[in-house]
Structure 1
Amino acid sequence: MTTKNLLVELFVEELPPKALKKLGEAFAGVLFEQLKAQGLTGEGAVVTPFASPRRLAAHVTAVRSKAPDQTVQQKLMPVSVGLGADGQPTPALLKKLAALGADVSDAAAVLGRLKRQGEGKAEALYWDSVVPGATLVAGLQKALDDALRQLPIPKVMTYQLETDCELPGWSSVHFVRPAHGLVALHGETVVPVKALGLTAGNTTQGHRFEAAKSPVVIAHADAYAATLRDDGAVIASFAERRAEIARQLAARAAEVGGGCRPIEDDALLDEVTALVERPNVLVCRFEPEFLEVPQECLILTMKANQKYFPLLDAQGKLTNQFLVVSNIRPDDPSAVIGGNERVVRPRLADAKFFFDQDRKKTLESRVEGLAKVVYHNKLGSQGERVERVSAIARGIAQQLGGDALARQADQAALLAKADLLTDMVGEFPELQGIMGGYYARHDGLGNDIAEAIEDHYKPRFAGDELPRNPVGLCVALADKLETLVGMFGIGNLPSGDKDPYALRRHALGVVRMLIEKDLPLDLPALLALAVPVFGDKVTDPSAALTDFIYDRLAGSLRDQGYSAQEVDAVLALRPQRLSEVPRRLAAVRAFAALPEAPALAAANKRVGNILKKAEGDVRPQVALERLVEPAERALHDALAQLSPQADAAWTAGDYTGNLRALAALKAPVDAFFDQVMVNADDPALKANRLGLLATLHRAMNRVADLSRLAA
């Protein structure tokens, strides 16, 4: 059966830019899968999505005009019900076949097509029927309806459409934006499908102002992109348009010179790609005096409010030039450039005004106002929260650096949230912490305090950098622990994909700081430090929170490439000092590579099971006079000989050395299980042998639970 390529386009009013990429991919993806499910696509068929501000489209190769017919076998009923004693069809069988559309006028013909399967009472009658394959018109209609219904629309609009019938009136249409055109071409042939009150044709609209023709006629499904580009002045492909914008951004930055480069922001690039159909990047400028404002403020206002690309110099500092992605290409772009420069100037002036006004008050003078800012109805105000964070930060700093670090951490924690009351953060909440750092320097508080205030939200996202100095580490740890303990303490736990307080991110932040900064802090001690500062506001969540943090740690380690067995072996012991976890993992990986590892892991698992089944508490104690079998004496002697070396490695933090030393136990352990019966009839012998196994188990499982490595 011959195939042709298919093109479907829905022409609408401007689509939500932040959702356009996802809408385009979903529209093409569902359309293709539905055509494929109905057998309308040939072998090797592929789909190409298109998405521009005013259109969603899909090009599908190798589409049939009609799907192949299919033979379907259907179970009818038991033979005893469908055939009478004379072997003829019963009325029940004939009625069933008639309902399926079969011709039942000729009983002999009916019997000839029936099939019997099974034996005895399970024998049943089956009927083979041919189901005609879907036509392209019907199949595409279904696929189009499904594609529109399954679009991840952020918000649906309702608009009125005049009905096309003898009785005048209006009907309501529900879609993301009003639709004005539908194209469906199978090769050169229009497929007469309908959607959103529209009937498919072969015409669409190009660029609002620069199209060479209106309407744009699509002569063939394969001519879609080229025709829109030539006649409609539109780059229909989202990916192609994005690449063209990136190319022009780099080219204009190179023209400016001085090593300038546009700021990298994939989300902004996607959004701008969704705003223009014919991109044209232009260079604009603003007055150099605005550069006195912190560059984060200027960059944010240009990106968030105007969708501009700020230009950075070779050192990463903001310049007074920026790039605009225009949707038109006039011969003289001066009016476009001037208009964008006029628009951005008031935004930058507002930022400068906020910065100047904010510096008239010190951060310390704002702290009192935090008592009037509600943090959570069960946990009090931001002022109360600051006091809790300060108390936790002091305790952490005392352990890490004594009184001097504790005083700095206390000061930084008290001031860390003060910038929430500034005009700049009120306008740009994304700058909290960053502006606090600038204002702290202006207040003469020193670089350590300023960096700590700026860094106390870090890490803000996966892969973000950690606080730069010890003061910042103390405050960042305290801030995240306060959030975790508070929210867990009042029962605000993450559920499914819902995590409104970013508790998973906070837990990973705690894990990263403890491990990557190699901090000598125990997790239980940290929680014991954080819980009391809440008084009676929370129920102690330490147990649930500890599980949560270890779960985050386990997931993070697996993402880093450690096997589930390695992670389980180390975390099964719940090491209190998380900074030791990487060394323990390295030791387990080195041990697992030894030839003795599989046998020792299996033996360790066996020992653990024996001790679990033992009655009462088994202590790791051995009476030498009760070691009667040569194999048990040999195991005891081997443990005694190896223990000093293993203990020394453990004390030195050489976990790899500890496990390597224990590898020599393979032979005596194997001999013990071959030659010694642990559950001896003599209770004293049994107890002594259990004590020997407990001693072995304790020695082998200080670094990790080696039984988790057993296959």
Structure 2
Amino acid sequence: MSQADTRPLLVELLTEELPPKALQKLGRAFAEGLRGVLEKKHLLGASCRVVDYATPRRLAVLLDAVLAQAPEEHYSEKLMPAKVGLTDSGEATPALAKKLASKGLQHLQPADLVRESDGKQDYLYANGVAPGALLADGLQEALDTAISSLPIPKVMRYQLADGVTSVKFVRPAHGLIALWGADVIPVQALGLQAGRHTMGHRFMGSQSIDLADATSYESRLLDDGMVVPSFAARRDDILKQLDQHAARLNATLGNDPEVEALLDEVTALVEHPTVYAGQFDPRFLEVPPECLILTMRLNQKYFPLFDPGTGKLTHRFLIVSNMRVEDPTNIVEGNERVVRPRLADAQFFFEQDRKQPLAERVATLANSVYHNKLGSQLQRSDRVRAIARYLAERLGADAALADRAALLAKADLVTNMVAEFPELQGVMGAYYAQADGEPADVASALRGQYRIRLDEPVDAASLTGTILFIAERAETLVGIWGIGLVPTGERDPYGLRRAALGIISAFEQLSAGGYLSVPDDSRLTLAGLLDAAAGTFSQFDIAADTPQAVKGFIYERYRNQLGADHDKNVVEAVLAPEPPLHEVRARIQACSSFAQRPEAESLAAANKRIGNILKKSDEAASRVDPSRFTEDAERALAQAIEQIGPVAQAQFQRGDFTGSLATLAQARSAVDTFFNDVMVMADDPAVRANRLALLGQLHATMNQVADISRLAS
């Protein structure tokens, strides 16, 4: 057989049930681990196609063009200086012999080596042709690498059949296949020797399947084993069946992102999917739909169905079963019996919770610890209330509504429903607030308090909710940061990065809704907010520099966010002076436009030069004295500043940042001439101080919108 001949290679690891939420990732990683090493060993044929398989009980990969042995490789090994490797008589020194042995080249003699000069001295090189890697060796390395590098969520240790040896893997492994065409490749893993034996579906297919060759794997599992080995194929099949059943029942699966996540999970739970329809007593629909939806998806892995016209939950659901039977009555009725007590529990929790008004639960928050250094949930609630009242005053909102929302915000944490389903905190608070007759703005605020960010301009109806949203995040940032729990690397257990981005989004949407105007920041500033938040921690020991540190952290998060969509120099220019949060986007747009102007590079370079000069000198006069000008370029620059400055300032004050920067661009000629004709650091101290004052005035005028020196290349 020619070395260039290829055959398909199948590798399967048969296991006990793998963790469903990790299965798809495990399957892809297993395939990529094998492919990567075999490719590195040059054992893959041209255009080799890789197909990964993953079922609840197996990880497998089929590579359709694999070589028995990789092609020969030419090599050139630099060994050592000739004077070190050879004796005067041309014999190999012990150092050379040791070097050759370490590289597996001990068969070479000095006469086989090549001498080449690097310009300073002669070196010895070993040139030759090395045989390519054998598939058996390369596959063993690939298998070891693929298994050891799997993104396993939790490893378990188990004992092998010999009763002595133990191995570690995600689940106990019971079989290993390694077929190159029709030939078994003698590799091993996890105490298993490779063969050609696999297993079908636990109940519907052949329990024992011997494969003739690698290419028969998928068809034999489908036809004889009643197993759909491809994760993607099973997922597509399940979705097709779900859509067909939903259409038959005049319903939809809904557009919740959780549908996709559940689809991935059930795909990882079945080997031969079949969808059946079930239903529950319509009286359970009196319970908030979120409760029913969550218990069906989370606990039972069912797909609730919704009315296509209203989007409301119906009393029907779909089951993805691992069994295909002619009469599914027992399966359907069994699942209906299982879900009934779950829904009854949700109904009971809801009815019991409603017996006590939400406001009466607030006092019991004193028994729930928020953090041992920051007190109870009740103390935290008091802090959020104080921040909310501050925000309401600054934004002209109803302080009573803001305070009420903050008071009730965490009360649902001590309800039966949230104790059972923590994912429903906030949602249940809103339902209970509505049932208690609380104002609509308060109920809406409770429902939206756990959003990641605000995506729509704030209006009168959402103002109370926005205030609660900001207050809760400001308290979290200042409190958690203040006791030293600063995010590090990938660790951010209290979600401070997310809280920072939430506050940024709130300032942006307050501006979009007209509650914060550009460029006026007199109503609400980030610094003022953080200082107000810090003031609520008087009973606790938080670091004195916390507000300033948190402010820097928030701007850093903004910098990272903006850097994904805008030029990094523009972002640095705008954020360097830490402008009001709600102005940042407008300034970014203006600075981006300015950076495209032909004057930008020259003015940015001049601005950078001015900044460096001013940093190094403290001799500037308190004001510019025109009588001390000695050069025409000085007078021209002063005149340009006098003419352009007020116009740019007026535009800046109107929030016309683009216009302000465009006006400043008109100073380019005067600035360039000044630096060409004038020696700033003149011998005369009075002249020097006056010139420095002139540059200081120019610097302040140029950097109102952004630190344009950051645009210099």
Same fold, TM-score > 0.5, yes or no: yes
In structure 2, the CA distance between the partners of 1:597 and 1:354, relative to structure 1 (3 Å rule), is same
- Alignment-derived partner of residue 367 in structure 1: 362
Residue number in structure 1 paired with 2:18: 15
Question: Which of 227, 242, 246 in structure 2 is aligned with 1:249?
Answer: 242
Query: Which AA in structure 1 matches 2:344?
Result: A
Aligned to 2:646: 644
Partner of 1:325: 320
The answer on 1:665 being equivalent to 2:658 is: no
Deviation sequence 1:125-163 (CA, Å, 0-9, x none): 233354432211121111111211222222223333223
1:544 aligns with 2:549: yes
One-letter amino acid of the structure 2 residue matched with residue 410 of structure 1: D
User: Is the 2:196–2:212 Cα contact (8 Å) retained in structure 1?
Assistant: yes
| Match in the other structure for 2:194 | 200
Measured after TM superposition, the shift of residue 611 of structure 1 is 1.5
Would you say the 8 A contact 2:50–2:63 is kept in 1?
A: yes
* Equivalent residue number for residue 215 of structure 2: 222
Compared with structure 1, are the counterparts of its residues 78 and 437 closer, same or farther at alpha carbon in structure 2 (3 Å cutoff)?
A: same
Q: Deviation string for 1:83-126 (max 9, x for gaps)?
A: 2223343455456546666577xxxx823212223368743323
CA distance in 2, matches of 1:427, 1:119: 75
Corresponding residue for residue 416 of structure 2: 423
Matches within 5 A, 1:156-555: 156-163=155-162, 170-211=164-205, 213-257=206-250, 261=254, 263-265=256-258, 266-314=260-308, 315-401=310-396, 405-459=398-452, 469-518=462-511, 519-520=515-516, 521-535=524-538, 536-540=540-544, 541-555=546-560
Equivalent residues of 2:455, 2:509 under 8 A apart:
no
Distance of aligned partners of 1:152 and 1:466 in 2 relative to their CA distance in 1, 3 Å threshold: farther
Query: What letter is aligned with 2:379?
Result: E
What is the aligned partner in structure 2 of residue 567 from structure 1?
571
Q: Distance in 2 between matches of 1:237 and 1:396?
A: 55
Q: Provide the residue aligned with 1:683 in structure 2.
A: 685
1:474-507 per-residue CA deviation (whole Å, 9 max, x = no partner) reads 1111111101000111000111111110110011
2:521 is matched with: none
Tell me the equivalent position of 2:85.
Answer: 82
Deviations 1:540-570 (Å, cap 9, x if unpaired)?
A: 21222111100111111123x1111111010
Matching of residue 602 in structure 1 with residue 602 in structure 2: no
Match of 1:113 in 2: 112
How far apart in 1 are the matches of 2:427 and 2:210?
53
One-letter amino acid matched to 2:672: D
The answer for unaligned runs of 5 or more in structure 2 is: 517-523
Counterparts in 2 of 1:653 and 1:8: CA distance versus 1, 3 Å: same
Alignment partner, residue 37 of structure 1: 40
Structure 1 distance, partners of 2:457, 2:637, is: 50
Change (3 A) 1:331 1:592: same
Deviation at 1:455, TM superposition (A): 1.6
TM-score, structure 2 normalization:
0.93
Deviates more, 1:154-163 or 1:315-324: 154-163
Q: Report SS of the residue matched to 1:412.
A: helix
Structure 1 residues 644 and 120, CA gap change in structure 2 (3 angstroms): closer
Report if the CA contact (8 A) 2:527-2:548 is conserved.
no
Cα drift, residue 608 of structure 1: 1.4
8 Å Cα contact 2:8-2:65 kept in structure 1? yes
Contact 1:235 1:241 in 2 (8 A): yes
Q: Give the secondary structure class of the aligned counterpart of 1:678.
A: coil
Greater Cα offset, 295-304 or 143-152: 143-152
Three-state SS of the structure 1 residue aligned to 2:389 is helix
Moved more, 140-149 or 525-534: 140-149
Say if 2:628 is the partner of 1:635: no
One-letter amino acid matched to 2:320: V
Deviations 1:599-642, CA, capped at 9 Å, x for gaps: 222221222122122234x3672111122222221111111112
- SS in structure 2 at match of 1:272: helix
Q: Distance in 2 between matches of 1:18 and 1:91?
A: 58
Q: Secondary structure at the match of 1:133?
A: coil
Q: CA deviation at 1:61?
A: 2.8
- Distance in 1 (CA, whole Å) between partners of 2:452 and 2:160 is 51
Q: Report deviation, 1:199.
A: 1.8
SS in 1 for 2:18: coil
In the TM superposition, residue 6 of structure 1 has moved relative to its aligned partner by: 0.9
**What is the rounded CA distance, in whole Å, between the counterparts of 1:47 and 1:328 in structure 2?**
29
- In 2, Cα distance between equivalents of 1:90 and 1:603: 65
One-letter amino acid of the structure 2 residue matched with residue 528 of structure 1? D
Distance 1:441 1:654 in 2: 44
Q: CA deviation at 1:245?
A: 1.4
Which deviates more from structure 2 when the two are superposed, residues 57-66 or residues 79-88? 79-88
Separation (CA, whole Å) in 2 of partners of 1:283 and 1:326: 10
2 CA distance for matches of 1:98 and 1:656?
Answer: 71
Structure 2 CA distance for partners of 1:683 and 1:184, relative to 1, 3 Å: same
Q: Is the 8 A contact 1:185 1:221 kept in 2?
A: yes
- The letter of the residue matching 1:318 is L
Cα contact 2:252–2:305 (8 A) shared by 1: no
Equivalent residues, number: 695
Deviation digits for residues 503-534 of structure 1, max 9, x if unmatched?
A: 10011101110112215321110011000110
Alpha-carbon distance between aligned partners in 2 of 1:621 and 1:359, rounded to the nearest angstrom: 70
CA contact (8 A) 2:177 2:195 kept: yes
Q: Equivalents in 2 of 1:676, 1:384: separation in Å?
A: 64
User: Which deviates more, 314-323 or 94-103?
Assistant: 94-103
Secondary structure of the residue aligned to 2:683 is coil
Secondary structure at 2:77 match in 1: strand
C-alpha change, 1:661 and 1:207, in structure 2 (3 Å) is same
Compared with structure 1, are the counterparts of its residues 100 and 565 closer, same or farther at alpha carbon in structure 2 (3 Å cutoff)?
A: closer
SS in 2 for 1:441: helix
| Distance in 2 separating the partners of 1:78 and 1:347 | 79
3-state SS of paired residue (2:43):
coil
SS at match of 2:7: strand
Who is 2:519 aligned against? none
Pair 134,642 (structure 1): closer, same or farther in 2 beyond 3 Å:
same
Change (3 A) 1:346 1:320: same
Relative to structure 1, the CA distance from residue 481 to residue 93 in structure 2 (aligned partners, 3 Å threshold; closer, same or farther) is: closer
Q: TM-score, normalised by structure 1?
A: 0.94
Structure 2 contact 243–253 (Cα < 8 Å) conserved? no
Counterpart Cα distance in 2 of 1:270 and 1:174: 26
Question: Is the alpha carbon distance of 1:595 and 1:9 closer, same or farther for their aligned partners in structure 2, counting shifts above 3 Å?
Answer: same
2 CA distance for matches of 1:562 and 1:422? 45
AA aligned to 1:46 is R
RMSD, aligned α-carbons: 2.1
Output the CA distance in 1 between the equivalents of 2:66 and 2:470.
58
What letter corresponds to residue 127 of structure 2 in structure 1? D
| Cα deviation, residue 260, structure 1 | 6.4
Identity of paired residues, percent?
A: 52
The more displaced of 145-154 and 578-587 is 145-154
**Alpha-carbon distance between aligned partners in 2 of 1:51 and 1:238, rounded to the nearest angstrom:** 5
Partner of 1:166: none
Q: How far did residue 264 of structure 1 move?
A: 4.2
Question: How much does 1:262 deviate?
Answer: 7.0
Question: Unaligned stretches of 5+ in structure 1?
Answer: 164-168
> 1:509 and 1:685, CA in 2 relative to 1: closer, same or farther beyond 3 A?
same
Contact 1:50-1:57 within 8 A present in 2 as well = yes
Distance between the aligned counterparts of 1:142 and 1:639, measured in 2?
Answer: 72
Could you tell me which residue of structure 2 aligns to residue 558 of structure 1? 563
